[in-house]
Amino acid sequence: MDGTTQELIRTADEEFAALTAAVDGLDEPRMREVWLGTWGVREILAHVAGWHGEMTPALERLARGAPAHPDGAYDDADAWNARFVEARKDVATADLLREIHVSHRALLRAAASLGDAALAPGQAARALVDGVAADHYREHAAQIRDWRSRAGH
């Protein structure tokens, strides 16, 4: 693995660890507590896993030299988020936690297959990976930590 790729994966792994640490120790009622609009921690995790599931094949397409996705495919992020959450509403929390770990690894494997040139800062693939991984994890980990602090969890 090249330097740029290693740095991207290291950063994504660090931010993923921060996200999982932010939810560590929450019991089932707290995982299901709604505090972010209509979402709680479970919905955040379902949403993250959903984006992993959508963007892993997009990265695989990029590795084959194809477009990541058709133009406009993800313009309505709210609708996609709702689909991801709905699709996982009956998934056991332990299974959801396993899914997010497995899907994170799959996403980073797909990213690593692109190499340094595609993952250099300013490249579309880099933006896609950062957007669904490190930046995304950082955003939600901060929200969860803030909620836990305010709620005394």
What tokens does 112 get?
């690593």
CATH superfamily entry for domain 3-151: dinb family like domain (1.20.120.450)
Domain ranges of the chain: 3-151
The closest of 115, 141, 137, 139 to 126, measured between CA atoms, is 115
**Prediction pTM value:** 0.94
CA–CA distances in Å: residue 108 to residues 64, 92, 134 = 16, 24, 11
153 residues of the chain, pLDDT tens digit each: 568 999 999 999 999 999 999 999 999 999 999 999 999 999 999 999 999 999 999 999 999 989 888 788 888 999 999 999 999 999 999 999 999 999 999 999 999 999 999 999 999 899 999 999 999 999 999 999 999 999 998
